Each structure stands twice: as C-alpha cells, then as structure tokens.
Amino acid sequence: MKQVLLVDDSPVQLRVRETILRNAGLEVSTAADVDSALALMNAAGNTIGVVVTDHLLPGRSGADLVRELRARKYTLPIIVVSGMPQIEDEYEGLSAEFCMKPLPPEKLIAVVRKALA
C-alpha cells in the first residue's frame, strides 16, 4: 500500500490529520517543512502515493514544495489544504488539487483515497 506524506508546520494539525488517516487504515509519514518533505520523498522512493500539504510552511510555501516535486519529475497526486482561497492561483499548472479548510475528516479521507486509487 502506498503511503500518504503529510506536510504541515502545525504539530496539532499534523497529528490530527495523521490520526484521521491512520484510523482509516492508511500508512502515513509526516514532515514539518519543505526540506524535510523532500528528504522523505528521496528516501521513500515510490512508497509515497500522495502528498497532502499546507500552503503556509516555514521558509518556503506549499507551492514551492509542489514546484520542486514537479521539477524532480514526481508525478504523484498532490493535495493542498489551505484556508486562503486567494493563493489557489499559485498552484496553476502544477497538477495539484486544492481543498479549502476546514476539511472534515470524511472529506480528507475521501480525497486521499481518490488520489491513491
């Protein structure tokens, strides 16, 4: 089974989403910033099946992460979760799905399962 990589600098948000997805039977890895996420992607190879990232991250944004993953030829699905509708344009042409916060647990699970299918 492919893993979900969750990227969020909020330990609470990370833990909540991780728990929701694990309780749904999914394998989850977590990262708190772009560099950690990229290191995990490099180490995990193709065991990661989908990336779920926040937009606001320390140092570089979720859009920077998506651009870097695409530049490295990763074609896996990427889901961006944000409460800021105005930043959706930053993901234009990057093949990322944009989901507005709040994202109820059942919606998070459904979006991730669809991306993994």
How confident is the model over 23-79, as pLDDT tens digits? Answer: 999 999 999 999 999 999 999 878 999 999 999 999 999 999 999 999 999 999 999
pTM score above 0.85: yes
Cα torsion at 14, 98, 91, 4 (round to 10°)?
40
- Residue among 96, 54, 76, 88 at smallest CA distance from 4: 76
**Reduced to 3 states, what is the DSSP secondary structure of residue 25?**
coil
How confident is the model over 71-86, as pLDDT tens digits? Answer: 999 999 999 999 999 9
Token code pair at residue 102: 């709040």
CATH number at residue 90: 3.40.50.2300
- Residue among 68, 34, 81, 27 at smallest CA distance from 49: 27
Print the domain residue range for 73. Answer: 3-116
The total number of structural domains that make up the chain: 1
